[in-house]
Structure 1
Amino acid sequence: MTDGAEPRLSDALAACGRAGSAPEFSAAAKVLLAEARLELTERLVAGAPVEALIAHYRTIIDALTVRAWTLTLGEQVPLVLVATGGYGRGELYPHSDVDILVCGSPEAQQARAEAVAGFFSLLWDCGLKLSQAVRSVDDCLAESRAEVATYTALLETRLLAGDAGIHDALKQAIESPEVYGAREYFEAKRDEQRRRHARFHNTADNLEPNLKDGPGGLRDFHTLNWLAKKLYGVPSLAGLVPLGLLGEAEWDALLRDWRIVARLRFGLHLLVKRPEERLLFDHQKRLAELYGLHDSPESLAVEQLMQAFFRAAAILLRINDRLLQRFEEHLAVEPAITPLADGYVLKNGYLLAADNRFAELGMPALLGLFRIWGSQDACKGLHSDTARGLAEALDTILPYGQQPEPARAAFMELVAQPHGVLSLQRMARLGVLARYLPEFGKVTGRMQYDLFHVYTVDQHTLNVLEYLRRFEQGRLDGFALPHEVFPRLRKPSLIWLAGLFHDIAKGRGGDHAELGAYDFLRFAAAHGLPSADAQLVEWLVRQHLLMSLTAQKSDISDPDVVNAFARTVADREHLDYLYVLTCADIAGTSPKLWNAFKDQLLADLYTATRYVLRVGLEHPLNAADIRADTRDMAMAALMDAGLDEAVIAALWDTFPEDAFLRYRPEQLVWQTQGILAAAGDTQVLVRELPGGDSLEVFVRTPNRDGIFSGLMATLDRLDLGVAHARVLLSIDGYALDNFVTLKGGHTPDAKRVAQTLQAALKDPASIRPAKHLLPIRLRHFKIAPRIEFSPSAADGRTLMSLVCADRPGLLAGIAYVLLQRKVRVHDARIATFGERAEDIFVLSDREDRAITDPDALHSLHEALLDYLQGRKP
């Protein structure tokens, strides 16, 4: 605390006490609140316990409200001022609502209605945000019966001023079981929590978590407190410890992790100066600085801050689940028990061990628990007593390197079971895996400060394992081939291990794929994996990004690209495993990352590579053969549809040879049918791709400069993001442009898209890109643009590689700069990884020649930099 802070605060409190009028009090109170929040910030930075900070702020607010009460209503009134909700509990944060109730008879309320209104107005004028109510005891009971939230707020009341007898009567009335029965209240709060968790996708591991309402947040802790008070009549959750319903270790963990989350919330309120509960990107770095955290070679300061939160939230959520189950069992009328093998029973659907002393029984007993659990499809989860025994054993679990050989063998046997992936997921969520496999423990709760990875590393890993499990179970909407490929995997347990290890070295510096592969080799040696199995999984971990990067950054219609990829993969087994892992890895990264285009892209690469491997690497793909096969398949389909072969051939004679290399047969069928069915010089075809999240657009129009730029600007205005672009030129002077686009929230239907593009093509060069505000989330990621040119691209053109920060309308802006510089675009591969765009363009000058003049390339480079850095519109 800085010198003079305490005297300043004391002076401000004294000024409030001396105030003789509402305006004088309001002015003094504003000074007091400003001084209090400044002092709280200084104490927070100095490391003061969060309980002390909360108590200090509550004392100040108590003094303010009581002084305002006496100033407006006097000392002796037949009313009572009561703190309710969080304020009643005493847990008040710097910008939380101040929940207060004025309680008294209707006659007393009416007689002093003007004074009560003045009291509320005075507190609002001071700068406090109130949640206020004026009710009689009977009113409070009626509102409580109608709304469980009101009842909950009145469970936590604290007398501030006025008639203590009224407060006693209120407490006695609210605590009566006639208002809410124990079972009814439990079910209401449990269901309320389930709905609340569902809003956050039932995980605490979100990129910008909600500290109050999210899973593992403060509200989960409060819910347990409310239920403890209602069901057991204890003043707080700590009162369950003597009753044996809450272990001392569990209470210590709850209190420790409540402090972590509460401290974050307290600091967040002080930092943003408003009641913000979401830990947004905008605040994470600043909060880490406020706490004095520093970047290290292993992790950024912000990542350290967030890892502490995620680990605390996971434990709060885990204990919350256990206690809710105990409460539910306490309310059960008669237990239903089903005996199982090895000393286990199902009690009310939950797995209960006869002996829950896992700390003494050791790793074999723990692994046996997961083995039995996996064999019981009807099991709802672990019984709370067994879950508590498991939690108490966590600190006794040795890393696998220190485990005896039988324990390691039992672990591998568990993973090899049909339910092996479920067992891994459960061991991870309950903290066992982080102990047994220390490398996994290091990434537990570890966030990556970017917009690409929206989950912590451990949650992403669990997502990947879940997708792999679904692929094993059968067809999954949005995925073309994984369900067909998965049954061909020699050992499913190997894909579980690859999924577990693929990101296990994140955050250690260096290449996480290489480090993870090394980690797996040590694991495989310790667990006695056969050499062939170990080599396969090690290769998958080391190469787990290969297929994704090849598909998204390279032109997979180029036979050389597919041949090179096939040589790296080498055989069908490696291809099958890698394809399934890649699909799960992308889909498990973000709910928005997987789409029909990526599905098709990976399926095309898989199919083409499988063909190369089938005919043999000594017979690589040949462009001429691909063109011939594409022609034959498309022609057969068109003739089956009733089109004349000569008419088709005449149209195709105008197509460049690359059309039969770059397009799939079904695309050529769609394009050909559309062109032949339409009149006029310009045709625009639009169709929705499977999955409903993408549109494919094909344009045939007389070639002139500005087509690509105009189309990009128009697609941007239609809220369509371009994922892929093919720009070809027909022999008779038509542009043949094909785009795969991703729908936005305001994209019109396909018919409207086609009409808008048709209109835009009347004068495409005149269309300027729309101006966009940069979204707040993108403002925190500064990526220096990198632009590189290669004069040796195929077909005598220039390859431009561009890496920069993503933003709305980026592609439209780049296209407009290229138009202004008299540069033509012949192909584009668009890849976006969160906040980072990595795009590749094939360019030429207006005469379709490579851009080789150094001055021209430098000028283009500077023009693009000007746009990307905001120096020009």
Structure 2
Amino acid sequence: MSCFAQPNPAAAFKALIQTHSQGLRLRFRPDQSVSSLLTAKSRFTDGLLKCCWQHFLGVKNHALALIATGGYGRTELFPHSDVDILIIASPADKELFQEQLANFSRFLWDIGLKPGQSVHSIDECLEAAGDDQTIFTSLLEMRLITGNAELFRSLKTQLSTRQLWPSEQFLPVKIAEQEHRYSKFHETAYNLEPNIKEGPGGLRDLQVIAWVFKRHYHAASLNELIKYGYLPKSEYHSFITAKQILWRLRFALHLLTNRSEDRLLFDYQRELAAWFGYLDQDQQPDVESFMQFYYKTVVDIERLNEMLLQLLNEKLISDPDQLKPIPISADFSAIGGYLEATNHEVFTENPLALLEIFLLAQQLPSLKGIRASTLRLIRKNVHRIDQAFRTSKQANRLFLEILRQPRGITHELKRMNRYGVLAAYLPDFANIVARMQYDLFHIYTVDEHTLFLIRNLRRFSLDKHSKELPFCNKIFLLIPKPEILYIAALFHDIAKGRGGDHSQLGATIAERFCFQHDLPTHDIKLVTWLVRNHLLMSMTAQRKDISNPQIIHSFALQVGSIEYLNHLYLLTVADIRATSPSLWNSWKDSLLRELYIATHNALHRGLHNPMARSERISDNTREARQELLKLGISTTSIDQSWRHLSEDYFLRYSADEIAWHTIAIAASAETELPLVLLRPQTQRSSAEIFVYTHNQPGIFSTCTATLDQLGLTILDARIITTADQYVLNSFQVLQQSGQPIKDLFQEIHIASSLRQALLSKRVNRHPRNLHKQSRQARHFPIPTRITFLDDPYQRHTIIELITTDRAGLLSTIGQAFSELDVQLHDAKITTIGSRAEDMFYITDQQGQQIGDADKQLQIQERILELLHNDA
């Protein structure tokens, strides 16, 4: 390279790098190996570094050694990988060549190489490697680029002869490091935006095997895994094929993003799907098929990683005495704490052992798992789980027995899924294995979500987790057959991806399973009802006014019994918590618990004897008055404060809320309106903001816009306008983080900002904390749909709005209502990921339902127009 002969060497090197990068881009083919491209990038970088080294440190200088480490040392350099280099120099030479080394490093940065560079003596390298296994690991794969070869050989020899990190130490720390890495990804490879390098089943899993193997055997190639008996040729081929797939994906990601990017973000999935040839019939990238291909690849890697680490542990660490077989049953022994088939024909001679082995693993908690050689046998024989096997009453009893065990249910179901047994036994489950749910609120694949749901149900039963959700723990104790819940969980989403109503289809599949497994008629009805109605409770809680006795009675009629309610409540909570950790919050917890208690009371009272609207109003009024009198509020003040209030108010607010409002209204003069109150902690674990003022156009729009721009998430809105034109609005809110409001100064700021906005009839257009649409939400545009629904109580016209959640959405809806003289009485706000599913209960200004088709069309068109303008 004669770049230093150019007038501007840095520019010349940059041009050279750009030309080489462009050449790699042109040579890349998604369906072909990138091994030669990784080597070419590494060798090209070698040439750059040699040229720069010679220029800054002299052609004849051999006092120092320039070494590649890490991935660069393996000659696996991706388009934007870090270039990790180590310079070996004696302490004296470090001082002597300090200026030249600084110039060398500075120039590498100038040309955009961004090296990870360190300068150490051999002793310093050895000391650092002895203290930190990650440094030792990077040195395992070091390679001389240029300079003093003797220094390089000396370091390499001493790393070996000094026995730094011997296998019995190195393997355990690498396993612990992997476990810590897995924990960052929720112990699953099935995240919807996976990291193909660091995530479970990613490239790092393959590297861990390579590091441990090379450390012990000093092997030049992983092909020696065959030589030493760790892998047969077929599995080695799978190992290399999986690595090549991830290499191709990572290479493509670097080219696509023009940076070192290892995350398969939504931003890139569609383009990568098209690049790798995943197109559906409409010539649009089939992202789900592409991601399913990825997930199946990494699960294979995860399985190989598990087997190889276990084998390495046995050979490198375990005491030979611990590897003596201990008989467990006719078909299985325990070896080194792992279940081992007694011979290679176990599953051929007794296919039922494919289920028995998981039952044994549950029943013997001292066992650590299944031995690698037996895992191979399971994979080899899983085809024996055919239709005859699935209809075998012995197999059916074994499967139910697994679900009835007091421990290990989730753990063994996860294993059965990973080894292909669950999908073989439940062919319908195979349809959801690695199936992506392309939305923003399901952050796992369908099968992983299902197994997380079962895990959550199991946690309800365990004392050690009772403090998480004590109410759920208490209800679980009332469940006579927990396996009913687990079966319903297994089937609740099993029909995802088939088109149609997955709840109805899933109920049919579940019913067929229950009949095949000879469940009692009562249990069959309960399971199928739970699968068919697994969304009923969450939708009722979030989309209907559960303070209304009629809503509670209607829900209770659908549920029918306290037994069904107990099962549905637990399934609902576990389902939401298994969808995404961010979806569950104190608001949903309180809302579902309130619905459960109200429904339980209604069922206990008797469906033939529902609480009447008048009874609820009477109870709330009496209890609120008693509380106020205790606090010293006079009857006159109470009556004066309540003179504007309608029956609707006393129906929809609890006695506690009524008392709180009344105290504030009694202490306020007409001239002090609008009255804005904030209570940071309500019975529903959210903050309530209450507005009491004279009616005027745009109040709802002003309130919602202000609260949105203050960075608050509106969970619920209750809107009451009295006959003499007073407005009582209340909003249940949380911070954007999902946490309650706990800061006194924030409370004061919110209340004063909202009051000022109502007085001025203007909203601050330069907010400090405006809601922002997430990066992911851009990839999930939700078409706006507006539907007018019948009110079963003939009081309101109901508008259902489904659209992409965005800043100022409620304010925009309020503006449309204000312009068209529509009176808003109630709003149920439901936000699931980036999807808004809101319900608005409206009338005309005379309080009459809006049934005129032309008026409805006018409302619909104006909302759509305003939403389009705000987009």
Which one-letter code corresponds to 1:752 in the other structure? F
Residue 493 of structure 2 corresponds to: 503
Q: Which one of the candidate residues 146, 153, 160 is aligned to 1:168? A: 153
Q: Which moved more, 1:399-408 or 1:131-140?
A: 399-408
Residues in 1 aligned to 2:15 and 2:391: alpha-carbon distance in whole angstroms: 62
Q: CA deviation at 1:336?
A: 6.0
The answer on whether the counterparts of 2:338 and 2:367 sit within 8 Å (CA) in structure 1 is yes
Q: Which one of the candidate residues 570, 574, 580 is aligned to 1:584? A: 574
| Residue 215 in structure 1 maps to residue 205 in structure 2 | no
Q: Which one of the candidate residues 461, 469, 479 is aligned to 1:489? A: 479
| Residue 230 in structure 1 maps to residue 215 in structure 2 | yes
Q: Which one of the candidate residues 767, 771, 795 is aligned to 2:763? A: 767
Q: Describe the shift of the 1:100–1:385 C-alpha distance in structure 2 as closer, same or farther (beyond 3 A).
A: same
Which one-letter code corresponds to 2:755 in the other structure? L
Which one-letter code corresponds to 2:678 in the other structure? L
Q: CA deviation at 1:802?
A: 1.6
Q: Which one of the candidate residues 356, 367, 375 is aligned to 2:355? A: 367
Residues in 1 aligned to 2:160 and 2:271: alpha-carbon distance in whole angstroms: 44
Q: CA deviation at 1:464?
A: 0.7
Q: Size of the alignment, in residue pairs?
A: 855
Q: CA deviation at 1:89?
A: 1.1
Q: Which one of the candidate residues 564, 568, 581 is aligned to 1:574? A: 564
Residue 12 of structure 1 corresponds to: none
Q: CA deviation at 1:589?
A: 0.6
Q: CA deviation at 1:155?
A: 0.8
Residues in 2 aligned to 1:391 and 1:368: alpha-carbon distance in whole angstroms: 15
Which one-letter code corresponds to 1:626 in the other structure? R
Q: Describe the shift of the 1:204–1:240 C-alpha distance in structure 2 as closer, same or farther (beyond 3 A).
A: same
Residues in 2 aligned to 1:183 and 1:100: alpha-carbon distance in whole angstroms: 28
Q: Describe the shift of the 1:480–1:678 C-alpha distance in structure 2 as closer, same or farther (beyond 3 A).
A: farther
| Residue 440 in structure 1 maps to residue 391 in structure 2 | no
The answer on whether the counterparts of 2:560 and 2:603 sit within 8 Å (CA) in structure 1 is yes
Residues in 1 aligned to 2:568 and 2:369: alpha-carbon distance in whole angstroms: 32
Residue 785 of structure 1 corresponds to: 784
Q: Which one of the candidate residues 435, 459, 466 is aligned to 1:470? A: 459
Q: CA deviation at 1:788?
A: 3.8
Q: Which moved more, 1:582-591 or 1:483-492?
A: 483-492
Q: Describe the shift of the 1:747–1:566 C-alpha distance in structure 2 as closer, same or farther (beyond 3 A).
A: closer
Residues in 1 aligned to 2:684 and 2:851: alpha-carbon distance in whole angstroms: 43
Residue 837 of structure 1 corresponds to: 836
Q: Which one of the candidate residues 35, 40, 52 is aligned to 1:56? A: 40
Which one-letter code corresponds to 2:778 in the other structure? R
3-state SS, counterpart of residue 395 of structure 2: helix
Q: Describe the shift of the 1:481–1:141 C-alpha distance in structure 2 as closer, same or farther (beyond 3 A).
A: closer
3-state SS, counterpart of residue 585 of structure 1: helix
Residues in 2 aligned to 1:356 and 1:290: alpha-carbon distance in whole angstroms: 43
Q: CA deviation at 1:383?
A: 4.6
Residue 312 of structure 1 corresponds to: 297
Which one-letter code corresponds to 1:709 in the other structure? S
Which one-letter code corresponds to 2:534 in the other structure? H
Q: Which moved more, 1:469-478 or 1:848-857?
A: 848-857
Residues in 2 aligned to 1:179 and 1:363: alpha-carbon distance in whole angstroms: 47
TM-score (norm 2): 0.88
1:413-448 Cα offsets, whole Å, 9 max, x none, are 332333473343442344321222222222122111
Which one-letter code corresponds to 1:507 in the other structure? G
1:648-701 Cα offsets, whole Å, 9 max, x none, are 566455432112322344444554566567886525131325796x32333334
RMSD: 3.6
3-state SS, counterpart of residue 579 of structure 2: coil
Which one-letter code corresponds to 1:368 in the other structure? E
Q: Describe the shift of the 1:657–1:270 C-alpha distance in structure 2 as closer, same or farther (beyond 3 A).
A: same
Residues in 1 aligned to 2:232 and 2:867: alpha-carbon distance in whole angstroms: 58
3-state SS, counterpart of residue 172 of structure 1: helix
Q: Describe the shift of the 1:67–1:439 C-alpha distance in structure 2 as closer, same or farther (beyond 3 A).
A: farther
Q: CA deviation at 1:326?
A: 4.1
Q: Describe the shift of the 1:724–1:57 C-alpha distance in structure 2 as closer, same or farther (beyond 3 A).
A: same
3-state SS, counterpart of residue 498 of structure 2: coil
Residues in 2 aligned to 1:687 and 1:454: alpha-carbon distance in whole angstroms: 31
Which one-letter code corresponds to 1:437 in the other structure? L
1:296-311 to structure 2, matched below 5 A, reads 301-311=286-296
Residues in 2 aligned to 1:766 and 1:503: alpha-carbon distance in whole angstroms: 47
| Residue 450 in structure 1 maps to residue 466 in structure 2 | no
Residue 13 of structure 1 corresponds to: none
Q: Which moved more, 1:780-789 or 1:648-657?
A: 648-657
Q: CA deviation at 1:405?
A: 3.6
The answer on whether the counterparts of 2:708 and 2:771 sit within 8 Å (CA) in structure 1 is no
| Residue 815 in structure 1 maps to residue 782 in structure 2 | no
Unaligned segments of structure 2, at least 5 residues: none
The answer on whether the counterparts of 2:710 and 2:750 sit within 8 Å (CA) in structure 1 is no
3-state SS, counterpart of residue 431 of structure 2: helix
The answer on whether the counterparts of 1:718 and 1:747 sit within 8 Å (CA) in structure 2 is no
Which one-letter code corresponds to 1:34 in the other structure? Q
Q: Describe the shift of the 1:239–1:809 C-alpha distance in structure 2 as closer, same or farther (beyond 3 A).
A: farther
Residues in 2 aligned to 1:175 and 1:393: alpha-carbon distance in whole angstroms: 42
Residue 776 of structure 1 corresponds to: 775
1:696-711 to structure 2, matched below 5 A, reads 696-711=688-703
Which one-letter code corresponds to 2:479 in the other structure? L
Q: Describe the shift of the 1:41–1:446 C-alpha distance in structure 2 as closer, same or farther (beyond 3 A).
A: farther
Q: CA deviation at 1:728?
A: 1.7
1:149-298 to structure 2, matched below 5 A, reads 149-246=134-231, 248=233, 250-295=235-280
Q: CA deviation at 1:137?
A: 2.0
Q: Describe the shift of the 1:768–1:857 C-alpha distance in structure 2 as closer, same or farther (beyond 3 A).
A: farther
Q: Which one of the candidate residues 406, 421, 424 is aligned to 2:394? A: 406
| Residue 47 in structure 1 maps to residue 40 in structure 2 | no
Q: CA deviation at 1:88?
A: 0.4
| Residue 460 in structure 1 maps to residue 449 in structure 2 | yes
The answer on whether the counterparts of 1:720 and 1:747 sit within 8 Å (CA) in structure 2 is no
Residues in 2 aligned to 1:399 and 1:93: alpha-carbon distance in whole angstroms: 47
Q: Describe the shift of the 1:335–1:236 C-alpha distance in structure 2 as closer, same or farther (beyond 3 A).
A: farther
Residues in 1 aligned to 2:764 and 2:793: alpha-carbon distance in whole angstroms: 30
Q: Which moved more, 1:273-282 or 1:553-562?
A: 553-562
1:13-67 Cα offsets, whole Å, 9 max, x none, are xxxx454526576555444443444444444445211333323333333343334
1:5-154 to structure 2, matched below 5 A, reads 17=1, 19=3, 21=5, 26-27=10-11, 29-45=13-29, 47-73=31-57, 75-78=59-62, 79-154=64-139
Residues in 2 aligned to 1:169 and 1:275: alpha-carbon distance in whole angstroms: 33
The answer on whether the counterparts of 1:478 and 1:599 sit within 8 Å (CA) in structure 2 is no
Residues in 1 aligned to 2:497 and 2:279: alpha-carbon distance in whole angstroms: 15
Q: CA deviation at 1:836?
A: 1.2
Q: Which one of the candidate residues 317, 334, 339 is aligned to 1:331? A: 317
Residue 364 of structure 2 corresponds to: 376
| Residue 605 in structure 1 maps to residue 595 in structure 2 | yes
Residues in 1 aligned to 2:335 and 2:633: alpha-carbon distance in whole angstroms: 68
Residues in 1 aligned to 2:629 and 2:238: alpha-carbon distance in whole angstroms: 71
Residue 684 of structure 1 corresponds to: 677
1:77-126 Cα offsets, whole Å, 9 max, x none, are 31332211101012211100111223243455555555444444444344
1:655-674 to structure 2, matched below 5 A, reads 655-672=645-662
Residues in 1 aligned to 2:326 and 2:828: alpha-carbon distance in whole angstroms: 60
Q: Describe the shift of the 1:859–1:793 C-alpha distance in structure 2 as closer, same or farther (beyond 3 A).
A: farther
- What is the percent sequence identity of the aligned residues? 38
Q: Describe the shift of the 1:488–1:291 C-alpha distance in structure 2 as closer, same or farther (beyond 3 A).
A: same
Q: CA deviation at 1:359?
A: 4.2
Q: Which one of the candidate residues 616, 626, 629 is aligned to 1:626? A: 616
Q: Which moved more, 1:835-844 or 1:316-325?
A: 316-325
| Residue 596 in structure 1 maps to residue 586 in structure 2 | yes
Q: Describe the shift of the 1:94–1:394 C-alpha distance in structure 2 as closer, same or farther (beyond 3 A).
A: farther
Residues in 1 aligned to 2:402 and 2:854: alpha-carbon distance in whole angstroms: 65
Q: Which moved more, 1:603-612 or 1:827-836?
A: 603-612
1:253-312 Cα offsets, whole Å, 9 max, x none, are 433322232221111001000011221111111111221211369996111222222222
Q: CA deviation at 1:702?
A: 4.2
Which one-letter code corresponds to 2:840 in the other structure? F
The answer on whether the counterparts of 1:399 and 1:435 sit within 8 Å (CA) in structure 2 is no
Residues in 2 aligned to 1:477 and 1:704: alpha-carbon distance in whole angstroms: 47
1:503-538 Cα offsets, whole Å, 9 max, x none, are 112112222222222322333343333343333322
1:382-401 to structure 2, matched below 5 A, reads 382-394=370-382, 396-398=384-386
1:321-364 Cα offsets, whole Å, 9 max, x none, are 34334444432457669967426666665555655765445432
3-state SS, counterpart of residue 692 of structure 2: strand
Residues in 2 aligned to 1:646 and 1:333: alpha-carbon distance in whole angstroms: 86
Q: Describe the shift of the 1:687–1:18 C-alpha distance in structure 2 as closer, same or farther (beyond 3 A).
A: closer
